[in-house]
Amino acid sequence: MRAGETAASEDPKERILSAAGEVFAERGFEAATVRDICLAAGVNVAAVNYYFGDKQKLYNETVRQAHQRLVAQVPLSPWPEGTPARAKLRDFIGNVLERMLGFGRPRWQTRLMLREVLQPTDACRDLVEDYILPQFQLLISILGDLADGHLEEPQLRQVAMSIIGQMFIYRAAGDVVGMLLPADEMQSLHTPVPLADHITHYALAALGLASPLTSSEPRA
Amino acid sequence: MRAGETAASEDPKERILSAAGEVFAERGFEAATVRDICLAAGVNVAAVNYYFGDKQKLYNETVRQAHQRLVAQVPLSPWPEGTPARAKLRDFIGNVLERMLGFGRPRWQTRLMLREVLQPTDACRDLVEDYILPQFQLLISILGDLADGHLEEPQLRQVAMSIIGQMFIYRAAGDVVGMLLPADEMQSLHTPVPLADHITHYALAALGLASPLTSSEPRA
DNA sequence: AACTGATTGAAACGCGCGTTTGAAATGGGC
DNA sequence: GCCCATTTCAAACGCGCGTTTCAATCAGTT
């Protein structure tokens, strides 16, 4: 009866992982129930223990898989040689924002990662080493190119953290951000593309590589 | 027998609220148990229901009280007239960071607020209106003074959100930040005072009101 | 068709949770 | 000293959770 299903996968293990991703991301480990996950996956409650052992192991596996898929679908250095550093910066920021806030890809993957960042469990160390740290180092290297020897590593890291913070708040505290801003502005200025422009310009101006935000001259 | 207790309050209602604050902040609403809270408060399990009705009402009351205490102890405009805007900016950033990251005051108060920001419940709307929005508007007005008419309100709000994001990440994702930075640097450069200097300078430089981060000239 | 190991299913188990109970303890007013 | 409202306490209740059970079903082999 493989014509009966609409969009569900054949393999029950896959279906459970996918449903678990959504439920864990939405409600967190504690509040998510095995029964809800199994209902969403269309399998019996016993299936979780049959395939994964227990709820904790299912969670670990869900995080591991979500994290590996994220790593796989994010190329680390997509630029042809000779690309100007400021173009790389703009691209980097745009990509991260698109991944964090955009509507491509299932939302629950990054939401699950966010939960780990906000309140790390055992699964977090791998996530940082495989996914976050490489991106952080890429940003540092771009900033190093931009500063051209005028900034020490510690200062580069400070600037990098500033840039990440500016993106992070929209993902982590989006609801409250929405309460602080006019609704129309939220949709026009605080979405991936204009935000990427702003954060990039803000950084370049602070580094003396673009005109200050207060002037209307073209960028240096 | 008021000499008998060491640091515990007399009033059981107070003791429950205080214990609940710590436990809710540490583990979240779902994972926190009424039994743990009562054990920490040194009262019987029935006391929660006797004084507050149920767990949910206790949580609401805990958030409400933590939020009101925060509001009460944060003066909104502590500057004498004529204080330069850039000094106000440095003060504002320093104060927020000190409140978020510093070791004065019980940690659980801001941690509870953070939980509300990350995943708002009913208690969040009041928190935003009474506590966060006024601070946000104060920051906007400081930035307005600094920009001196060269920036429109929407741009001011973008810059304000950038500044808040730079502080917020340290509070919300401190664990992961610690994994990305050398341990000694975390303690020397990413603590309230040096961070406030950095974020202030970053903003002023971006606004063209201080020398770029890449130069070693004194600030303009 | 019969056997066999892997998978599914409905029902139940034990446990810890929030909550309730009803009696015991407490303490101020007469 | 007694009364009565308030507060405390140990014990229990009902429920939903993660987990287990074991019989039913399925799929591949002979």
Encode chain B (220 residues) as per-residue pLDDT tens digits: 333 333 456 789 999 999 999 999 999 999 999 999 999 999 999 999 999 999 999 999 999 999 998 888 887 778 999 999 999 999 999 999 999 998 888 899 999 999 999 999 988 998 999 899 999 999 999 999 999 999 999 999 999 999 999 999 999 999 999 999 999 999 999 999 999 999 999 999 999 999 999 876 555 4
Cα separation, B99 vs B109, in Å, equals 10
- Distance in Å, residue A39 CA to nucleotide D30 C1': 39
The answer to whether A12 and A47 have CB atoms below 8 angstroms apart is yes
Q: Which residues contact B206 (CB under 8 A, 6 or more apart)?
A: A202, A203, A205, A206, A212, A213, B159
Share of chain A above pLDDT 90, in %: 79
Torsion of CA B84, B197, B169, B102, to 10 degrees: -90
Torsion of CA B30, B32, B38, B39, to 10 degrees: 150
Please report the pLDDT score of residue B104 as a whole number: 80
Of residues A190, A208, A215, nearest to B215 (C-beta): A208
Cα separation, B107 vs A70, in Å, equals 34
Nucleotide nearest to A55 (CA to C1'): D18
Q: What are the tens digits of pLDDT across the range B52-91?
A: 999 999 999 999 999 998 888 887 778 999 999 999 999 9
The 10 Å Cβ neighbour count of residue A181 is: 19
A78 — alpha (psi -120 to 50), left (phi > 0) or beta?
A: alpha
Chain A residues with CB inside 8 Å of B212's CB?
206-209
Please report the pLDDT score of residue B5 as a whole number: 33
B142-173 in b/e form (b: 16+ CB < 10 A) is bbeebbeeebeeebbbbbbbbbbbbbbbbbbb
Please report the pLDDT score of residue B75 as a whole number: 79
Mutate to test the interface with B, among A111, A202, A204, A217 (most CBs of B within 10 A): A202
Please report the pLDDT score of residue B217 as a whole number: 58
Q: Which residues contact A51 (CB under 8 A, 6 or more apart)?
A: A12, A13, A16
Backbone angles phi, psi at A18, to 5 degrees: -65, -45
User: Which DSSP string do the residues of chain A spell out, in sequence order?
Assistant: -TTT-SS--S-HHHHHHHHHHHHHHHHHHHH--HHHHHHHHTS-THHHHHHHSSHHHHHHHHHHHHHHHHHHTS-S--PPTT--HHHHHHHHHHHHHHHHH-SSS-HHHHHHHHHHHHS--TTHHHHIIIIIHHHHHHHHHHHHHHHTTSS-HHHHHHHHHHHHHHHHHHHHSHHHHHHHS-HHHHHHTSSHHHHHHHHHHHHHHHTTSS--TT--SPP-
Share of chain A above pLDDT 70, in %: 94
- Say which residue the tokens 């708002």 belong to: B120
Q: Say yes or no to pLDDT of A217 above 70.
A: no
Cα separation, A8 vs B20, in Å, equals 43
CB contact under 8 A, A213 and B202: no
Of residues B117, B154, B207, nearest to A213 (C-beta): B207
Q: Within an 8 Å CB–CB cutoff, is residue B79 touching chain A?
A: no
Q: Which amino acid does the sequence have at A72? A: A
Please report the pLDDT score of residue B105 as a whole number: 81
Section A117-142 average pLDDT: 93
Q: Quick check: helix, strand or coil at residue B182?
A: coil
What is the Rg, in whole angstroms, of the alpha carbon atoms belonging to chain B? 21
Nucleotide nearest to A30 (CA to C1'): D17
Please report the pLDDT score of residue B218 as a whole number: 53
**Which is higher by pLDDT, A36 or B9?**
A36
The answer to whether A123 and A140 have CB atoms below 8 angstroms apart is no
Please report the pLDDT score of residue B6 as a whole number: 31
What is the distance, to the nearest Å, from the Cα of residue B204 to the centroid of all Cα atoms in its chain? 23
B105-134 in b/e form (b: 16+ CB < 10 A) is eeebbbbbbbbbbbbbeebbeebbeebbee
**Signed CA dihedral, A203, A207, A213, A217: sign only:** negative
Q: Within an 8 Å CB–CB cutoff, is residue B220 touching chain A?
A: no
As a whole number of Å, the end-to-end CA separation of chain A is 64
What is the distance, to the nearest Å, from the Cα of residue A133 to the centroid of all Cα atoms in its chain? 13
What is the distance, to the nearest Å, from the Cα of residue B198 to the centroid of all Cα atoms in its chain? 19
Q: Within an 8 Å CB–CB cutoff, is residue A143 touching chain B?
A: no
Q: Say yes or no to pLDDT of A104 above 60.
A: yes
The number of C-beta contacts closer than 8 angstroms across A and B is 166
